[in-house]
Amino acid sequence: MASLDLNGILSKRVLDVEESPTFALGRKVALIDEELKKEGDYVVKFGIGQPDFNTPGNIKEAGKKAIDDNKTKYTPSTGIKELKQAIVDKFKNENGIDYDINNVFAGNGAKQVLDCIVRAFINPGDGVLIPVPYWVSYPQQVILSEGIPIEVGFEKDLTLDIGDLKSKIDDFNGPVKLLILNSPNNPSGAVYSKQQLLDIADVCLENNIFIIADEVYEKFLYGDEKHYSLASFSDELKEMTITVNAVSKTYAMTGWRIGYCAADAGIIGQMTKIQDQTSSNPCSISQWAAIEALKGDQKSVDLMGAEYKKRRDYIFDRLNKMQGIKCDLPKGAFYIFPDVSGLFVGSITNSLELADALLEKAKIAVVPGVAFGDDNYLRISYATTMDNIEKGMDRLEDFISSL
């Protein structure tokens, strides 16, 4: 059956949005993996950013209990009061930020929460500052709201370049509404210091730019690194910051789809209208499981963090011994973002071609850096087993030696 000609029919803003490269990669990998398994082999997957651990038992039991207790009906659109109170307590006890439950919004994962925030702020032509490297969905969500993503360059440590931030604000012809800041960062693992955050905050306050602080990887820090929440620095910054988090990464709950944010009640009110008319409410069962995640035993988080550190140290050591690769030691999250431009030889001229070659020839799945704003890099997730990491690094070494 021939495809319909939908030019001029479908929404231009939807047509302008790109497919998620991580999910597109997942589909391609699945097809290749299926064939390899017939031969007793498999693709080493360093692609999608999801913990390889199972959801802790106490959280699963809370979900099961919610089902047994018939807590399976609609809930208030932005979450039950018990979950909101658990979020309020979390922000106060762990981040030093005082909120009330009317400052809290729970949604279907942090991605959907971020989309609601962007929709609540952006008119056609409004600018949103997005530091490179960025999570793949940030610019696409801005485009979907008919805003304009403004990419901000980075320093050698892969954190935002303040000079470029100021220049981009001055040069943009129109209102700049938001800055999206992610620390610890996906894809680089960079962590912003308190002084860096204060410097960024000063620029935003001076220009009346609201800050989306995406803190979903806050629990995964290495060495002496510390996480700082912008909204905890002052009442003025608290008013200008929307702090986003989720249970997805911290508690290996990606499929449960619970994200949340806290902000000025007026912002939450507008976001609520969006959720009222779209997804209705987060999954009722997942909300009760998320309460247990936030309030229950936290040992699983420490165990995951310790394991991620071992993997990080190993993969960093292996990568830095490979010809044509340069990378910084990630300070947080569970990704490493090596500069692989030294491998652009022959028919390989960019990160997409390199990622394709690695999948087809070395049976390694990685995400090309162009998806994160810089074509010289690849993102490698080490949220996989040490056996897979060792095998993947061996395959990468063999691939490089064949170039």
> Domain for residue 66, yes or no?
no
Question: Could you say which of 279, 295, 311 is where a domain stops?
Answer: 295
Cα gap 151→144, rounded to integer Å: 16
Q: Above 70 in pLDDT, residue 224?
A: yes
- Do 241 and 117 share a structural domain? yes
How many C-beta atoms surround the C-beta of residue 226 within 10 A?
9
Instruction: Based on the fold, state whether residues 242 and 164 are members of the same structural domain.
Output: yes
CA 217 to chain centre: 8
Judge whether 24 lies within some domain.
Answer: yes
**Residue 211 φ/ψ, nearest 5 degrees:** -115, 125
**Do residue 154 and residue 266 come from a single domain?**
yes
DSSP-assigned beta bridge partners for residue 107: 259
- Kindly state the tokens that stand for 17: 């949005």
Per-residue pLDDT band for 1 (boundaries 50, 70, 90) equals: low
Are 341 and 383 in the same domain? Answer: yes
Where is the domain boundary, 265, 295, 325? Answer: 295
| Closest CA relative to residue 110, chosen from 20, 189, 215 | 215
Q: Which residues pair with 367 in a beta bridge?
A: 379
Cβ atoms of 254 and 50 closer than 8 Å:
yes
Higher pLDDT, 30 or 376: 376
Whether 64 maps to a domain, the answer reads no
User: Under 8 Å CB-to-CB from 231, ≥6 apart: which residues?
Assistant: 95, 97, 213, 237, 238, 241, 243, 262
Q: Do both 229 and 97 map to the same domain?
A: yes
pTM higher than 0.85, yes or no? yes
Which residue range(s) make up the domain with 389? 12-54+300-401
- 90, part of any domain: yes
H/E run at residue 133: none
Tens of pLDDT, residue by residue over 164-177, are: 999 999 999 999 99
* Alpha-helical runs (H) found in 172-298: 194-206, 235-240, 265-277, 284-295
Residue pLDDT, tens place only, 111-121: 999 999 999 99
| pLDDT tens digits for range 247-296 | 999 999 999 999 999 999 999 999 999 999 999 999 999 999 999 999 99
Residue 179 CB-half CA count within 13 A? 30
Tell me what pLDDT residue 16 has: 86
Q: Among 270, 295, 320, identify where a domain stops.
A: 295
Confidence at residue 29, expressed as pLDDT on a 0 to 100 scale: 79
pLDDT in tens, 183-221: 999 999 999 999 999 999 999 999 999 999 999 999 999
Structure tokens at 196: 């860096």
Torsion from C-alpha of 321, 326, 332, 334, nearest 10 degrees: -70
Predicted local confidence at residue 233, as pLDDT:
98
Record the tokens describing residue 225, joined without a space: 């690194």
Residue 366: give its domain's CATH number: 3.90.1150.10
Which residue's entry shows tokens 């979020």? 87
5 within some domain: no
Q: How many domains does the chain have?
A: 2
Q: Are residues 109 and 80 in the same domain?
A: yes
Same domain, 377 and 263: no
Q: Note the pLDDT of residue 3.
A: 73
Tell me, yes or no, whether 320 and 288 share the same domain.
no
Question: 26-30, 92-96, 362-366, 374-378 — which is least confidently predicted?
Answer: 26-30
User: With 70 as the cut, is the pLDDT of residue 2 above it?
Assistant: no
Backbone φ/ψ region at 189: left (φ over 0), alpha (ψ -120 to 50), beta: left
> How far is Cα 187 from Cα 203, in angstroms, rounded to an integer?
24
What residues contact 198, with CB distance under 8 A and at least 6 apart?
A: 233
Instruction: For residue 133, give the nearest of 327, 385, 314 by alpha carbon.
Output: 327
pLDDT band, very low/low/confident/very high, at 17 (cuts 50, 70, 90) = confident
On whether both 223 and 192 belong to a single domain, the answer is yes
| DSSP reduced 3-state for 264 | coil
Q: Is residue 63 part of a domain?
A: no
Q: Are 281 and 329 part of one and the same domain?
A: no
Q: Which residues pair with 377 in a beta bridge?
A: 339
Q: Which long-range contacts (CB under 8 A, 24 or more apart) does 341-347 make?
A: 341/376, 343/400, 343/403, 345/403, 346/403
- Evaluate whether 281 touches 305 at the Cβ level (below 8 Å): no
Residue 216 and residue 117 in one domain: yes
The half-sphere exposure of 238 on its side-chain side, counting CA atoms within 13 A, is: 15
Q: How confident is the model at residue 319 (pLDDT cuts 50, 70, 90)?
A: very high
Rounded to whole angstroms, how far apart are CA atoms 49 and 254?
9
pLDDT in tens, 126-145: 999 999 999 999 999 999 99
* Tens-place pLDDT, residues 29-80: 788 878 888 888 889 999 888 999 999 999 999 999 999 999 999 999 999 9
Residue 208 forms part of a structural domain: yes
Percent of the chain topping pLDDT 70: 99
CATH number of the domain enclosing 186: 3.40.640.10
Residue at 41 is within a domain:
yes
- In a shared domain, residues 307 and 234: no
CA atoms within 13 A on the CB side of 115: 17
Query: pLDDT value at position 39?
Result: 85
Closest CA to 188 of 167, 217, 166, 213: 217
User: Crossing angle for the helix pair 109-121 and 137-144, nearest 10 degrees?
Assistant: 40
